Structure 1
């Protein structure tokens, strides 16, 4: 039994009640494309001045985590914001991550899909002052990803909003990137709740106007757009947007609050998935998608329902700190030996949050090794003065 803190500053006794889900390969092909966005595991014994230098990565643990996702039938969204791009992980580390991941994916029995984030974060914002500079930065990363064999995810770049870019600049850059890519790309619309520096993306703060612009951009060459990931945490907007997409262009939900309903669909349209939470709830996600593919919606909802409160806690405001919850669950479940993140990002959340994540993960059957999880939670509590 543990004493866990509550939001009202009290301590409450808690004993585990969940039955852990057992990770396994799906028995049937999924009817939805599902990418899990995975985090990076630090090597704390090699970290030096973590706030000022490139992160030291535990490559063995980082790649083993990805193997576990692939073994459960999930694709991988690599080097995205979940991996702390621009928040502790620099482009050179991300590039090595992509290259190592692609090499591992090529020999994995499942031949998993891997899409990789291309951005502009290797160039200082002060040097990205016009469309040509932003385009050149994107192309540098896109070339490296394609050379490694990865599909492109065109990540939202802070460079556009930093210069107050108008639609002409967005159109020039994205048109060149989409049309010039070797394979159809995935676009990335990340809301400012995930990154405040992206407020006003697509050249407007009006979501309806931005939607019209993006749909026009896709419609100009839909054959070169695999899909678009939308992370606005707005179910009604996503449903309306996906109904307007050209045939064959996917909507990849990035809505970590409403994914269960969006993936199931409304009878006419449905979303695919490109979600950070899927890395934390992989057994539930894989087995729910298997059930959906078999037409078993009761099991689909039974598996996903308890994960939604967990995801909403992990992604609660300030949403950009959600990465800490992903790494925390990885530590509890024994897929890494420590709870240290690039740039010390584990300090972005408080002990009350971690206690609630612990409770909700247990109730969702997502503490794979209960005894280990209790031991590690007790260690974290002691660090915060709770014996």
Structure 2
């Protein structure tokens, strides 16, 4: 998207030597003046740790609440909803249930203060997996854990996202066990929820979710659950990185049940859609590309489909790079871009996950973000990139 040069230069490593890279200008992104209506779009936001805290693996999460909540206000200011306390926020990957509950409560209060849309994850991560009983007793414990978290989300004024459960994978022996748990939960909610199907590329511990490792078999169970409970399901978030599967599922969903794409590789084509429909969005990549994503959705509102597609497509290479295998570490790239753009004081993450990507990966991320017009303050980004390279022994 970048059309002009700033003249700013950073020496970047290329084939074992440092070469100058000239930064472009930020994109001409706009904040909406009225609510976005063409799509329902959530950005799954990350958390920012307190810089002075012990952010090492196994340490309790210590969150910089001011910076973390300011990031959510930034997303709301661009007309996007916020999806919180999910895998992008390192849920179960550094952020435990106690910290997640605090995040949900605080985000709920902030959303209410500005009328921002908020959906939050409810799961079972307060359970000790090693101590779970088997059979019906284990399923009952899982249902109780889900209900505890649903209550926290509901009391915060947020929409419930039923997250995939590692505990359920451990205890369930069949698709019937999944159906039993989810139907009990859906029977008890008073507002339609979002069901989240998270693929193993994001969390290997979820292998065999819905009772089968075969995607088509699992999809059959998933569809049956939705059909039987359509009044309790607002939509489904599918994070399998398989565009063809998503389109087929979207076309098979009951009327008024949304497909919230979780495909951070193929989101442009899925959001734009075709003559038979489109996907809405609940995406981690939107936390990184939110100015462009919002501008594209505004163009859709204005009937400018080609322009919206052009904007989203120009961010796709960046999205595929951030979510490249091992996809588990995509959060590292989102935090790095947040730091480059001045949204957090340091490049740090809870549980030390900032070490999850290599220097070459970050160098390419920097270039792709620049080419997409997503370095909001090129001078600051250039300075911070130089600091990062110097810290890693690559200063000129």
Shorter-chain TM range is over 0.9
**Aligned counterpart, 1:5:** 13
User: 2:376 aligned with 1:368, yes or no?
Assistant: yes
Does 2:66 match 1:60? yes
Q: Which secondary structure does the structure 2 equivalent of 1:306 belong to?
A: helix
Counterpart pick for 2:118 among 114, 119, 142: 114
* 2:17 is the alignment partner of 1:37: no
Q: Which residue of 2 aligns with 1:77?
A: 83
- Partner residue, 2:6: none
Distance 2:329 2:28 in 1: 26
Contact 2:292 2:312 in 1 (8 A): yes
Instruction: Give the C-alpha shift of residue 26 in structure 1.
Output: 4.6
Segments of 5+ residues of structure 1 without an aligned counterpart are none
2:258 to 250, 260, 278: 250
TM-aligned CA deviation for residue 13 of structure 1: 2.5
Match of 2:322 in 1: 314
Q: How many residues align?
A: 383
1:182 Cα offset (Å): 1.9
Report the Cα offset of residue 84 of structure 1. 0.2
CA distance in 2, matches of 1:253, 1:284: 17
Q: Which residue does 2:223 correspond to in 1?
A: 215
Measure, in 2, the Cα distance between the counterparts of 1:27 and 1:298. Answer: 21
Aligned-residue RMSD, C-alpha: 1.3
Give the conservation status (yes or no) of the 8 Å contact 1:264–1:270. yes
Q: Distance in 2 between matches of 1:360 and 1:21?
A: 17
Q: Distance in 1 between matches of 2:390 and 2:185?
A: 50
How far did residue 200 of structure 1 move? 1.0
Q: Are the aligned partners of 2:78 and 2:294 in contact in 1 as well (CA < 8 Å)?
A: yes
SS in 2 for 1:112: coil
* Structure 1 Cα separation of the partners of residues 67 and 26 of structure 2: 25
User: 1:173 & 1:28 partners in 2: Cα distance?
Assistant: 36
Q: Which residue of 2 aligns with 1:160?
A: 168
TM superposition score normalised by structure 1: 0.96
Distance in 1 (CA, whole Å) between partners of 2:55 and 2:68 is: 21
Map of 1:99 onto structure 2: 105
User: How big is each residue's C-alpha offset from its partner over 1:351-378, in whole Å with a ceiling of 9 and x where there is no partner?
Assistant: 1111111000000110000000000000
Q: 1:171 to 1:28 in 2, by over 3 A?
A: closer
> Which residue in the other structure is 1:351 paired with?
359
Aligned to 1:127: 131
1:10 shift after superposition: 4.8
Q: Which runs of 4+ in 1 moved over 6 A?
A: none
**How far apart, CA to CA, are the structure 1 residues paired with 2:33 and 2:316?**
21
1:9 deviation in Å? 4.5
Structure 2 counterparts to residues 226-241 of structure 1, below 5 A: 226-241=234-249
What SS class does the counterpart of residue 252 from structure 2 fall into? coil
**More displaced stretch, 23-32 vs 294-303:** 23-32
2:297 aligned with 1:289, yes or no? yes
Q: Distance in 1 between matches of 2:18 and 2:185?
A: 53
Contact 2:83 2:282 in 1 (8 A): yes
